[in-house]
Amino acid sequence: MSRWNDRVQGWLFNRNRPCTDIRGEPDYRSVSVQHVLPRVRCAGYRRLHLHEPEVSGLVASKRTWTLDELRTLPQVSQITRHICIEGWSAIGQWRGVPFRTFLERVGADLSARYVGFKCADRYYSSLDMAAALHPQTQLTLDFRDAPLPAKYGYPLKLHVPTKLGFKNPKHIAAIFVTNTNPGGYWEDQGYNWFSGL
């Protein structure tokens, strides 16, 4: 039934319809698979690795990206609601690189089916390509006009306002493009994979 639900949600998803921007910023919660945030050293963890074996042929430019390089790409800011599967929601201001811009810059095969993420806290997740290319999907570097705090995913998180919160990976250490569904930490434990809003 969950696979049928994924297909229906994918069929209903509109890759161009934005999530509503709502002004105001109440306190924003943070949920992690670890009880302690991962220790991320600035010098040792400044790179986003794009050399996973499973992406061979699906990304033209396989190399590491520093945070400084990511900041030279076009940046956008958005105020959108984050909705958690636990029932709470919060509005936040996020700034970073449109994910589509990044995928185009690295020469990703945009006809591939999935984009997967591996994180420094052992979390992993994946998106369908349509959600990855949505205009509001963003590689986030800043929260409220300041560098992303550790509890929200420093140094880099993916913000996906069209998905439930667990589809927004934090502390990203690797990105890969593939035609094989990579699953996800919670999805592999029974959560709905598509999890769109």
Question: Per-residue DSSP letters for 96-153?
Answer: EEEHHHHHHHTTB-TTSSEEEEEETTS-EEEEEHHHHTSTT-EEEEEETTEEPPGGGT
pLDDT at 53 over 50: no
> Which position has the higher pLDDT, 20 or 111?
111
Which domains are seen in the chain, by residue range? Answer: 2-27+40-189 (3.90.420.10)
Residues above pLDDT 70, as percent of the chain: 74
The pTM score is 0.77
Phi and psi at 50, nearest 5°, equal -125, 40
CA-closest candidate to residue 160, choices 18, 12, 34, 11: 18
Per-residue pLDDT tens digits for 134-190: 999 999 999 998 999 999 999 899 999 999 999 999 998 899 999 999 999 999 999
Per-residue pLDDT tens digits for 59-87: 898 888 888 889 999 999 999 988 999 99
CA-closest candidate to residue 64, choices 48, 52, 53: 48
* Cα distance between the two ends of the chain: 18
Q: Cis peptide before 149, with omega less than 30 degrees from 0?
A: no
